[in-house]
Amino acid sequence: MLVKLDTLEKNIKIKSAKKHVAVIGAGFGGLAAAMRMGAKGYQVTVVDKLDIVGGRGSCIEKGGYRFDLGPTIITMPHLLEELWAFCGKRFSNYIDLRAKTPFYTITFPDGTKFHAQQDETLMRKEVARLFPNDLDGYDRFMVDSERRYEFAFSSTNKIGRLPMQRLWDTLKVIPKFALMRADRSVFGNAAKYVKDERLRMALSFHPLFVGGNPFTVTSMWGLVCHLEKTYGVHYAIGGSVAIAKGMAKVISQQGNELRLNSQVDEILVSSGKVTGVKLSSGEDLAADIVISNADSGHTYNQLLRKSKKKRWTDKKIGRQRWSMGLFVWYFGTNNTRSLWKDVDFHTVVNGPRYKGLVNDIFVNGKLSDDMSLYVHRPTVVDSTAAPKNCDTFYALSPVPNLGFKNPIDWQKEAEPYRKKMQDLLEKNLLPGLGKHLTESEIMTPIDFRDKYLSPFGSGFSMEPQMFQSAWFRPHNISENFPGLYLVGAGTHPGPGVPGVLASAEIVAKLIPNADGTFEKSIRKNETNLEYSL
């Protein structure tokens, strides 16, 4: 009874003071939204089921090793700087972000090693060294990549940083999309410019980092090469979780609350309008606005299971194409700091097949015998990740999600698959690995489903395909429930740290400041007043 009275008192206090925003989820999207809402004058409570902030960008610590679970490549750092500036703070006072070049090394089964560089001269030299006949095509590809970037993020269009809930906003860019052959895939576009299959792979694999199939995802994602070249590839000392912790610090400095180990069971709706959230503990948290950073699929089909939906029905969510699953092996090694000298921070180890493997993952739902890996070794620049003389690694293999007819039985397959991964690493990258292994942890699509409540155990929510992007993706402002907003990978503009930070910026534009005024940058009539407070 005492607890109940406490809660009641708290809710009354919240109601009587500022307008209250409940944020479901402390992923990068939820934390960024909470920071912005705090800066706009709201009282904010962030609720997450995990015991740590950062969601997919959190970490686990074991035996003196820190394993960063998800994002390792931070691009577009100005989005973080702008976020901090919006809150009246300086990002560099909180986070030690370092540019990393060469960006990554891509190895091929024939022994070729391609080092991707930020510096244009060095990168052209690398292309000329390995693929001399493709240098001219590479130059033209980079011009094309810049055009795509300008289209998505330039000051006139900025479709990646503006709301897209009005169909007209998507329709009016279609002629430009057609001109840029957005119907072509990222791979198809790269193949138009360069002939060597290895270079085609190196210029087209990036969608895999946001859950997209390079052979079907729109060529607009070809913008990533320009984006990397212009803004660099960065890493936060202390891992990406250090960024999440910095965000949590700002939230608490704003006087707002972060509740961990608290799962939201339901979004409360009364007379069609959102009124708060119910926690799994049974506690109700009243709120004027709810921002969901839970996956958009989970938001609509679980958290709003008792409410009738116009657009995002269970059937429609089930019909979407979901991004692939991920099998990630996190492992520690000892006495290896001076071993494997040429194994850098980011390495992509290609197996024998590219298209065939991607097809098995996205189309056939089959666990292939071969695999291609992304290997991360943070200890090259970050001594906080492992004990002295030791290394922390993660090796990631894209695998089918759990949405196929006969999903992979990970109870049975996980250990043999991990062993296969270890053998491949011993043979191709880390000779003698077995003798140095210490800690070991794995995550399969089952963990993504159960830990992050990710539909079908997908690694990155809905696949960022053309007809699942912009207006076609679940909107940042719910078309069904006034007071409900969505941030994170499952809403516009899509997955990846820059995408989810942009989703929070968009939501903050859609919601008036606590004093009722709107941000100046908002387009006329952007907010449907029927949805606002």
Ligand X SMILES: Cc1cc2nc3c(=O)[nH]c(=O)nc-3n(C[C@H](O)[C@H](O)[C@H](O)COP(=O)(O)OP(=O)(O)OC[C@H]3O[C@@H](n4cnc5c(N)ncnc54)[C@H](O)[C@@H]3O)c2cc1C
Query: Which residues inside 491-510 make contact with ligand X, applying CB under 6 A?
Result: 495-497, 500
Rounded CA-CA distance 517/82 in Å is 20
Q: Give the nearest distance from C-beta 224 to ligand X in angstroms.
A: 10
Rounded CA-CA distance 75/55 in Å is 18
399 is a contact residue toward ligand X (CB under 6 A): no
Closest CA to 226 of 166, 153, 313: 153
The one among 55, 102, 207, 455 contacting ligand X by CB under 6 A: 55
Count of CB atoms situated within 10 Å of the CB of 128: 13
Rounded CA-CA distance 319/459 in Å is 17
Q: Give the nearest distance from C-beta 45 to ligand X in angstroms.
A: 12
Query: Which residues inside 238-277 make contact with ligand X, applying CB under 6 A?
Result: 263-264
223 is a contact residue toward ligand X (CB under 6 A): no
Query: 383-402 burial, b for 16+ CB within 10 Å, e for fewer?
Result: eebbeeebbbbbbbbbbbbb
Q: Give the nearest distance from C-beta 47 to ligand X in angstroms.
A: 5
The one among 25, 160, 378, 400 contacting ligand X by CB under 6 A: 25
The answer to whether 68 touches 441, Cβ cutoff 8 Å, is no
The one among 22, 23, 30, 231 contacting ligand X by CB under 6 A: 30
Beta carbon nearer to ligand X, 25 or 137:
25
The one among 19, 20, 56, 245 contacting ligand X by CB under 6 A: 56
26 is a contact residue toward ligand X (CB under 6 A): yes
Helix-then-strand count for the chain, H and E = 18, 19
Rounded CA-CA distance 192/194 in Å is 6
Beta carbon nearer to ligand X, 192 or 234:
234
Give the bridge partners for 47, in sequence order. Answer: 24, 259
Q: Give the nearest distance from C-beta 500 to ligand X in angstroms.
A: 4
Element (H, E) at 440: strand 437-443
Q: Of how many residues is the chain composed?
A: 533
What letter represents residue 394's amino acid?
Y
Give the bridge partners for 347, in sequence order. Answer: 105, 375
Which stretch in 12-20, 116-124, 190-198, 290-298 sits in contact with ligand X by CB under 6 A? 290-298
Beta carbon nearer to ligand X, 104 or 177:
104
Rounded CA-CA distance 139/231 in Å is 18
Beta carbon nearer to ligand X, 203 or 462:
462
> CA geometry: angle at 71 spanning 67 and 74, to 5°?
125
325 is a contact residue toward ligand X (CB under 6 A): no
Beta carbon nearer to ligand X, 19 or 206:
206
Rounded CA-CA distance 166/136 in Å is 40
Q: How far is CA 327 from the centre of its chain?
A: 16
21 is a contact residue toward ligand X (CB under 6 A): no
The answer to whether 210 touches 464, Cβ cutoff 8 Å, is yes
Number of residues that bind ligand X (CB under 6 A): 38
460 is a contact residue toward ligand X (CB under 6 A): yes
The one among 208, 328, 357, 424 contacting ligand X by CB under 6 A: 328
The one among 28, 131, 456, 531 contacting ligand X by CB under 6 A: 28
57 is a contact residue toward ligand X (CB under 6 A): yes
Residues with Cβ within 8 Å of 177's Cβ and at least 6 positions away in sequence, in order, are: 183, 220, 466
The one among 20, 44, 71, 170 contacting ligand X by CB under 6 A: 71
Q: x/- contact string, 361-390, with ligand X (CB under 6 A)?
A: ------------------------------
Which stretch in 11-19, 21-29, 111-119, 153-161 sits in contact with ligand X by CB under 6 A? 21-29
Element (H, E) at 374: strand 373-376
Q: Give the nearest distance from C-beta 28 to ligand X in angstroms.
A: 5
Residues that bind ligand X (CB under 6 A): 24-30, 47-50, 55-57, 70-73, 209, 263-264, 293-294, 298, 303, 326, 328, 396, 452-453, 459-460, 488-489, 495-497, 500
